[in-house]
Structure 1
């Protein structure tokens, strides 16, 4: 699951594919997610710019 989360797969999809509820990947594996800060910040900035248009 940590590989999927680290690859950017949403936690809801990871949970469904693994047969778990969403709280499992969020509680157990979320600490494994590394190096996504830049990507997440870019997505937030893009969304904010889009709402201004």
Structure 2
């Protein structure tokens, strides 16, 4: 696995979305896991473009 440095700026809206998604699953997914899924999805979309 290659090392990649990613800089992330999280605005308040994204923070609320992550928090709401976390609560939707009754805490079954950690906030960090939710954020990681969003980052990975964003990277995949960027590679497709």
Shorter-chain TM-score above 0.5: no
TM-score (norm 1): 0.37
TM-score (norm 2): 0.39
RCO higher in 1 or 2 (8 Å CA, sep ≥ 6)? Answer: 1
Kindly indicate which of the two structures has a greater share of residues assigned to helix.
Answer: 1
